[in-house]
């Protein structure tokens, strides 16, 4: 898959609370690209919220829906896609994204992530007795997958706008190389 890459899109991967949605929208605006969000695609295809899918059908089912939308996105051009935090753990998803998109991972420490998500309640995986511990565990388990991105961007000391600028810059570098 890797050597047949035709990079016309940008995919943002990374843990919950790293700013994928906000940054993705800013990047799409700057490049005049379309914007997609895998969670939103799943919600509109099923008519259910992510929390409802987790609760009624289970995480496995949700992961299958994720793989399906990743396939759908592969026909797009000039699109920025923000992905759910667990999506790159499935190697098929990362391979599909890499075939058409520059894959950028937004990174932050567990402490920073907790600070950003603690007042939000829509993420089923953080409905846990000890959400801080859960963040540390999930992040550690996912780190090797996130590190397979083309570009790793630490978001801690940058504003959302600065992160978006970096993503645009990396995409332009990539386009210039082709
Ligand atoms: C998940 C992250 C969520 C959403 C779902 C599962 C995860 O997306 O896909 O709740 O496994 O980390 P965000 O990363 O946009 O919060």
Q: What digits encode the pLDDT tens for the residues 87-96?
A: 999 999 999 9
According to the model, what pLDDT value does residue 1 have?
Answer: 45
What pLDDT band is residue 40 in, cutting at 50, 70 and 90? Answer: very high
What pTM was estimated for this model as a whole? 0.96
Span 55-80, average pLDDT: 98
* 89 touches ligand 1 (CB under 6 Å): no
Quote the mean pLDDT of the chain: 96
* 50 touches ligand 1 (CB under 6 Å): yes
Q: Please give the Cα distance from 79 to 95 (Å, whole number).
A: 17
Q: Please give the Cα distance from 9 to 171 (Å, whole number).
A: 9
Pick the closest to residue 14 from 95, 110, 83 (CA basis).
Answer: 83
* 88 touches ligand 1 (CB under 6 Å): no
Closest Cα to atom 12 of ligand 1: 85
Pick the closest to residue 167 from 146, 178, 152, 157 (CA basis).
Answer: 152
What pLDDT band is residue 2 in, cutting at 50, 70 and 90? Answer: very low
* 66 touches ligand 1 (CB under 6 Å): no
CATH 3.30.300.30 at 9-177, yes or no: no
């Amino acid at each position: 898959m890797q050597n047949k890459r035709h990079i016309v899109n940008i995919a943002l991967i990374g843990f919950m609370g790293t700013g994928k949605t906000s940054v993705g929208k800013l990047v799409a605006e700057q490049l005049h690209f379309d914007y997609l969000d895998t969670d939103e695609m799943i919600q509109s295809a099923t008519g259910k919220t992510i929390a409802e899918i987790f609760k009624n059908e289970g995480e496995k089912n949700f992961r299958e829906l994720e793989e399906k939308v990743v396939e759908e996105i592969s026909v797009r051009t000039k699109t920025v896609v923000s992905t759910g935090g667990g999506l790159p753990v499935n190697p098929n998803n990362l391979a599909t994204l890499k075939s058409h998109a520059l894959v950028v991972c937004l990174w932050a420490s567990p402490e920073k992530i907790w600070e950003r998500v603690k007042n939000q309640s829509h993420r089923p995986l953080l409905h846990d007795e000890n959400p801080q511990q859960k963040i540390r565990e999930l992040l550690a388990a996912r780190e090797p997958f996130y590190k397979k991105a083309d570009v790793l961007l630490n978001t801690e000391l940058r504003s959302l706008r600065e992160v978006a600028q970096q993503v645009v810059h990396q995409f332009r570098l990539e386009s210039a190389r082709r």
